[in-house]
Amino acid sequence: MEVSPSDRDEVWTPLRVLNWAVPFLKGKGVESPRLDVECLLARVLGCDRLRVYLQFDRPLSADERATLRDWIARRARREPLAYLLGEKEFYGLPFIVNRSVLIPRPESEMLVEEAKKVLEVLPPEERTLLDLGTGSGCLALSLAAALPDLRVWALDQSGDALATARQNAQRHGLEDRVVFRQGSWWEALLPPDPTQFAVIISNPPYISEGERGEIAPEILEYEPFVALFSGESGLVDYQAIGMGLEARLAPGGWAFLELNSNLSDKIEALWAHWEGRRVLRDLQGLPRVLALQKQPIA
């Protein structure tokens, strides 16, 4: 945290940090500067955001000031808050995040909700889930936590991402409930794995090269490129998923794929031959999830 020479011997408190850092971050283009500073103060003080306001006049130690200086400087460079804190809440659970994985977004909870609706009405012995491109593991692990008898397979091509997902599984006591596999899409599955799954979910890379200029610096400069961009068209990874989806989905089973709302018509067209398909919209009315049902055996 930069201070003028006349400030160096003065006492720094949470209130003073807020009064300085909020306009500083706002000037750097940070969208929610006050919320971000409150979260950083809460982490340094070891309390929740509400209790920060009960300690407004508490003098900060030299170590606390140093940590805040570093974090606020990094946030000013647009490093995401979740990477600074090292975690992000998703579906009511905290998940470890770092630059090897995408930061979980609330919109992706729709995938969990839709998958859960299908899985919870199946007989326990039929409850199998495949998560393609698991990243932090937030989708697979949220469903494993919600459905104790669910059998889960989680795939990712990145060894670093899988290491983070395994950490999250251990954190939530789910390490014995999830099978992790490394590889590119369907190639990651091994002979001992199921040939078909009741539900398949994925939040694949889906940004096209033409959309690069629309992406916030927090995403473009810090989150993993391979988990964001999908070729010139933004459709490359959907096409790869489509090549094996029907074979790997059990008869009557469902797949739920997160959508790039700008490309939803083109994505849906890849599955135009599927009778059991529908596009689900989020709370903002944007197309968010493509739901695909494989026809049951007659």
- Could you give the dihedral angle defined by the CA atoms of residues 94, 96, 100 and 104, in that order, rounded to the nearest 10 degrees? 10
Render pLDDT for 160-188 as a digit per residue (tens, 0 to 9).
999 999 999 999 999 999 999 999 999 99
Question: How many helices (H) does the chain have, and how many strands (E)?
Answer: 11, 9
Decide if pLDDT at 5 tops 90: no
Average pLDDT over the chain reads 94
Q: Which residues, 6+ apart, have CB-to-CB distance to 284 below 8 Å?
A: none
Name the architecture of domain 91-293.
3-Layer(aba) Sandwich (3.40)
Beta-strand pair 128-132/197-202: parallel
E strands of the chain, at which residues? 87-90, 93-96, 128-132, 151-156, 178-182, 197-202, 249-258, 276-281, 287-293
Q: What is the pLDDT of residue 6?
A: 41
pTM of the model: 0.93
Domain map of the chain by residue range? 5-77, 91-293
pLDDT over 70 at 59, yes or no:
yes
Task: Tell me the average pLDDT across 29-56.
Answer: 94
Tens of pLDDT, residue by residue over 91-128, are 999 999 999 999 999 999 999 999 999 999 999 999 99
- Rounded CA-CA distance 14/19 in Å is 9
Q: Is the pLDDT of residue 262 over 90?
A: yes
From the list 67, 62, 72, the residue with the least C-alpha distance to 20 is: 72
pLDDT at position 3 is: 44
- Residues 194-238 have pLDDT tens digits of 999 999 999 999 999 999 999 999 999 999 999 999 999 999 999
**What gap in Å lies between CA 111 and CA 97, rounded to an integer?**
19
Phi then psi for residue 77, to 5 deg, are: -85, 5
CATH domain 5-77 topology: Helicase, Ruva Protein; domain 3 (1.10.8)
User: Which residues are 289's β-sheet partners?
Assistant: 258, 280
Structural tokens at position 70: 């570093």
Q: Taking the CB of residue 105, how many other CB atoms lie within 10 A of it?
A: 12
Confidence (pLDDT) at 10 = 73
Specify the pLDDT at position 298. Answer: 65
Using a pLDDT cut of 70, give the percent of the chain over it. 97
Residue of 244, 83, 280 lying closest to 155 (CA atoms):
244
* pLDDT of 7 higher than 70: no
Per-residue confidence (pLDDT) for residue 292, from 0 to 100: 98
Q: Which residues of 138-176 are buried (b: 16+ CB within 10 A; e: fewer)?
A: bbbbbbbbbbeebbbbbbbebeebbebbbbbbebbebee
pLDDT of residue 296: 87
Q: Could you tell me the maximum CA-CA distance found in the chain, to the nearest angstrom?
A: 81
